[in-house]
């Protein structure tokens, strides 16, 4: 976490004019890639993620197949042009870690045991990065899985929260992520009331941590509503 002399909250407003508890403007659309079985384009402010899903399909090579369950594969990739200074292509340690925790965040929503010997592939490309990309990616992936018709208990909803200038803020943008005291990305499975991803960068007291988690879960209802709306929109057209 870096330090800055710049105030990131002035008179109760954040640098983009939001109140601490506000989520950025969300855009969500499913079925954007005809060649994929399911797809979704999701943005929170400038952060934009494109997810595509293929499968369930037989897993090759066959020795990787599991006889009692299907597998989920998840690839998170930040496009070279998604940040101001060109990102090196190819998976970094950060992207490999994000791919693993995001796969684990989605698995509890899926009925993979119904599809032994198969694989479901999720590819998420971050087209534009301005903070909270992993949770934006999870929202896109979750919608793309639903769009593909992969049997799911519920959508997984992703949202971040953190502590900035001593205040709890929701949905951190890039600059806030850089200078905040701590940030917590969360993924949540509403129907099971289960947190499926919880990470923390920075330092917080246990009380602060609990309060941020509670506030993020509260604000996540708006994200979930937007997801449902995006899915319904496709099927009402």
Binds ligand ADP by CB under 6 A, chosen from 131, 158, 161, 162: 131
- Residue 100's contacts (CB-CB under 8 Å, 6 or more residues apart) are 74
Residues in the chain: 237
Q: x-or-dash pattern for ligand ADP, window 199-228, by CB under 6 A?
A: --x---------------------------
* CA 40 to mean position of chain CA atoms: 12
For ligand ADP, the closer CB: 159 or 189: 159
Between 118 and 199, whose beta carbon lies closer to ligand ADP? Answer: 199
Binding mask 170-189 toward ligand ADP (x if CB under 6 A, else -) reads ----x--x-------x----
How many other C-beta atoms are found inside a 10 Å radius of the C-beta of residue 214? 12
| CB closer to ligand ADP out of 118 and 178 | 178
Residue 36: C-alpha distances to residues 5, 31, 50, 58, 155 (Å) = 46, 8, 12, 16, 19
The vertex-139 CA angle with 87 and 225, nearest 5°, equals 145
**Per CB under 6 A, 133 contacts ligand ADP:** yes
Q: Does 86 bind ligand ADP (CB under 6 A)?
A: no
Give me the 23-62 binding string for ligand ADP, x by CB under 6 A, dash otherwise: ----------------------------------------
Q: Cα dihedral angle (12, 23, 74, 188), rounded to 10 degrees? A: 100
Q: Which is nearer to ligand ADP, 52 or 136 (CB)?
A: 136
Nearer to ligand ADP, 83 or 228 (CB): 83
Kind of pairing between the strands at 71-78 and 118-128 = parallel
130 is a site residue for ligand ADP (CB under 6 A): yes
Residue 2 or 60 with smaller CB distance to ligand ADP: 2
Return the DSSP state at 24: P
158, 131 contact by CB (below 8 A): no
What residue ranges bind ligand ADP (CB under 6 A)? 83, 87, 94, 129-134, 174, 177, 185, 201
């Amino acid at each position: 976490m870096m330090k800055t002399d710049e105030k990131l909250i002035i008179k109760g407003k954040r640098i983009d004019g939001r109140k601490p508890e506000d989520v950025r403007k969300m855009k969500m659309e499913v079925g954007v890639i005809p060649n994929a079985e399911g797809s979704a384009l999701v943005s929170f402010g400038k952060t934009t993620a494109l997810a595509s899903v293929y499968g369930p399909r037989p897993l090759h090579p066959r020795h990787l197949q599991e006889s009692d369950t299907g597998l989920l594969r998840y690839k998170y990739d930040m496009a070279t042009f998604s940040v101001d200074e060109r990102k090196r292509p190819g998976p970094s340690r950060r992207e490999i870690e994000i791919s693993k925790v995001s796969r684990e965040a989605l698995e509890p929503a899926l009925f993979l045991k119904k599809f032994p010997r198969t694989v479901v592939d999720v590819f998420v490309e971050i087209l534009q990065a301005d903070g909270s990309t992993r949770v934006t990616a999870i929202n896109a992936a979750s919608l793309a899985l639903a769009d593909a018709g992969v049997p799911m208990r519920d959508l997984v909803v992703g949202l971040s929260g953190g502590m900035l200038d001593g205040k709890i803020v929701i949905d951190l943008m890039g600059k806030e992520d850089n200078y905040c005291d701590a940030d917590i990305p969360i993924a949540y499975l509403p129907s099971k009331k289960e947190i499926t991803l919880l990470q923390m960068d920075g330092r917080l007291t246990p009380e602060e941590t609990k309060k941020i988690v509670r506030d993020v879960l509260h604000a996540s209802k708006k994200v979930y509503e937007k997801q449902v709306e995006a899915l319904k929109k496709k099927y009402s057209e």
